[in-house]
Structure 1
């Protein structure tokens, strides 16, 4: 494992965040057409955001010996679009939240209508800013869930991790 991944694991242990960890290897092509294997480490957990609601969340770190790597933080299964006819209004409401309230994160609707919150970034050996963004993401989600509940055509009640 890389120094960045090791540092992130130590920070998680210090903050008593329990992650399930797995490696994902994907074949990709370089700009020269050569096929190489890209490795990512996935850290998965769940976050309780209300008494009866938890969401799956995770951090994906590009595994590399480079001094800086890409990462992605996601909070999944936040809600579900129940009325596709209202998609223009739903996307407008989510974009207003994204513009004014969600900070580093963006709410998006996946192809199957699932609402997720994600952040893309780049980190170095000091993984503490990445960990802070992950922790603050839970706080942002808790704070914004009442606004998401008000969006007509979205159900945030039944979806659990």
Structure 2
């Protein structure tokens, strides 16, 4: 494990955020065709956005002995597109939220219509700013969930099986 992931674990524990942790290995093909094993650590938890809704969320950190590594923060299953005929209007409204209200996060629509809020970044050994981005993401989502609920063709109440 790297110093960065160790620092993240310690800070999460200090802030009383409980994560389930797992390791994901994925081969990475270099320009010369050779493969290098890339390791990522996935820290998963859930966030209660309001009295009716909880969302799965997580932090993925590239685990490498490097002074800086990539990370991704996601909030999943925020809602689902229920009317694909309205996709152009939905995309326009999500892009407006992305441009004006979501800060360093972006709302995206996955292939199955799931609404996800995502942030990509780079961190070093001081993981405090990354943890702050994670915590503030929950506040951003809580603030913008009513706006998402107003978009025709999106259902933020359902849980897709």
Q: TM-score, normalised by structure 2?
A: 0.98
Give the 3-state SS of the residue equivalent to 2:112 in structure 1.
coil
Equivalences for residues 124-139 of structure 1 within 5 A: 124-139=124-139
Query: What's the counterpart of residue 19 of structure 2?
Result: 19
Query: What's the counterpart of residue 71 of structure 1?
Result: 71
**1:71-108: CA deviations, max 9, x gaps?**
00000000000000000000000000000000000000
Q: Tell me, in whole angstroms, the C-alpha distance in 1 between the residues paired with 2:142 and 2:150.
A: 14
Q: Tell me, in whole angstroms, the C-alpha distance in 2 between the residues paired with 1:62 and 1:28.
A: 12
1:42 aligns with 2:42: yes
Give the 3-state SS of the residue equivalent to 1:11 in structure 2.
helix
Query: What's the counterpart of residue 109 of structure 1?
Result: 109
Query: What's the counterpart of residue 121 of structure 2?
Result: 121
Q: Tell me, in whole angstroms, the C-alpha distance in 2 between the residues paired with 1:50 and 1:129.
A: 25
Query: What's the counterpart of residue 83 of structure 2?
Result: 83
Q: CA deviation at 1:159?
A: 2.5
Task: Give the 4+ runs in structure 1 shifted more than 6 A.
Answer: none
Q: Tell me, in whole angstroms, the C-alpha distance in 1 between the residues paired with 2:87 and 2:31.
A: 37
Q: CA deviation at 1:27?
A: 1.1
The number of equivalent residue pairs is 161
Give the 3-state SS of the residue equivalent to 1:9 in structure 2.
helix
Structural RMSD (CA): 1.1
Q: Tell me, in whole angstroms, the C-alpha distance in 1 between the residues paired with 2:159 and 2:59.
A: 20
Is contact 1:41-1:61 (8 Å) kept? yes
Q: TM-score, normalised by structure 1?
A: 0.98
Q: Tell me, in whole angstroms, the C-alpha distance in 1 between the residues paired with 2:5 and 2:101.
A: 30
Q: Tell me, in whole angstroms, the C-alpha distance in 2 between the residues paired with 1:60 and 1:92.
A: 28
Unaligned runs of at least 5 residues, structure 1: none
**1:111-135: CA deviations, max 9, x gaps?**
0000000000000000000000000
Q: Tell me, in whole angstroms, the C-alpha distance in 1 between the residues paired with 2:117 and 2:62.
A: 19
Is contact 1:53-1:159 (8 Å) kept? no
Query: What's the counterpart of residue 145 of structure 2?
Result: 145
